[in-house]
Amino acid sequence: MLKALPLNKRGIPASRIALGCMGLGGGWDHEPVTAENIKQGHEALDAALSIGINFFDHADIYTRGKAEKVFGQIFKERPGLREEIILQSKCGIRLMEPGDITNMFDFSKEHILASVDGTLSRLGTEYIDILLLHRPDPLMDPEEVAEALRQLKASGKVRHFGVSNMSAAQIKLLETYCDEPFIVNQLHMSLAKISWVDAVLSVNREQWKDLTFPEGTIEYCRAGNIQLQAWGPLAQGLFSGRPLEGQPENVVNTASRVRALADEKNTTPEAIVLAWLMTHPAAIQPVIGTVNPLRIAACGGADEIELSRKEWYELYVSSRGEKLP
């Protein structure tokens, strides 16, 4: 039986799976939102609701704000929906504009406050349930971040805060200065992105000394009741139907194992891939990135699948392509 989400333990009735909305709104350009974009949003939303998803993940940069605009229009067309779902968005990335040579990360007070105001305007809502700081900013002043979050909380614009792509040390630095707890850490985790598991096994092993996933991050979040969210949990379909021509042997073998388990358990490959994450006792919440209604529906029931320890390890070792010591 799956453990309750840390979010649930905090009284937030979040679904076991979340829908990531990066694919809504069309291209990453400045073209206006179209009627077809709105239709796609309704279809993705309905597919998500049909499998029990009530948690929707945005960011101010997704399709340059158009993903949030799509949801804002949906709220206008479906009165009462806003209060039935949980909205999460992110800030802190500034995309390149003409004349720029790179994207930037910006955790300045001014940028955080302006980003949230933009998100609220596009969504057409008065508050965000959870705001994540999107990626670490090397120039971050934690005292400045603390002041921004304090203002957002006091104004009622944001109810809870979290981070994305941060290590335990980075979270600890923010916690030193911020009054509000950080209740989410969203990380890249999937059956294809397994460095978060490798980090557990890397202690005192020379061949893994260059592992980049920060040791102790998963453990810190678990100890602090911080919700671990997995972005990219479906690995872009790598194990659930994507053509595998040219893929390495470990990927091909893992896809075969996933299909065999799906057949054995009378479910879909997508559900098996998600169940691998959700079997972990950290109570990981996958944030699926597809907006294809059929693929969303294929994720249904993943939270009802039980993988044995043997099945979990077989998938892990198959993916990494190297036996355990």
> Catalytic residue positions?
62
132 vs 137: CA distance, rounded Å = 13
Q: Are 254 and 239 in contact (CB under 8 A)?
A: yes
How would you class 3 by CB atoms within 10 Å of its CB: exposed for 0-12, middle for 13-18, buried for 19 or more? middle
Is-contact 292 259, C-beta < 8 A? no
Q: How many CA atoms lie within 13 A of 60 on its CB side?
A: 26
What is the CB neighbour count within 10 angstroms for residue 271?
Answer: 23
Structure tokens at 74: 């949906």
Closest CA to 235 of 260, 258, 208, 266: 258
Give, in order, the Cα–Cα distances in Å from 122 to each of 179, 184, 225, 246, 272.
28, 23, 31, 42, 35
* H or E element at residue 250: helix 249-264
Q: Which of 228, 215, 119, 97 is nearest to 164 (CA)?
A: 228
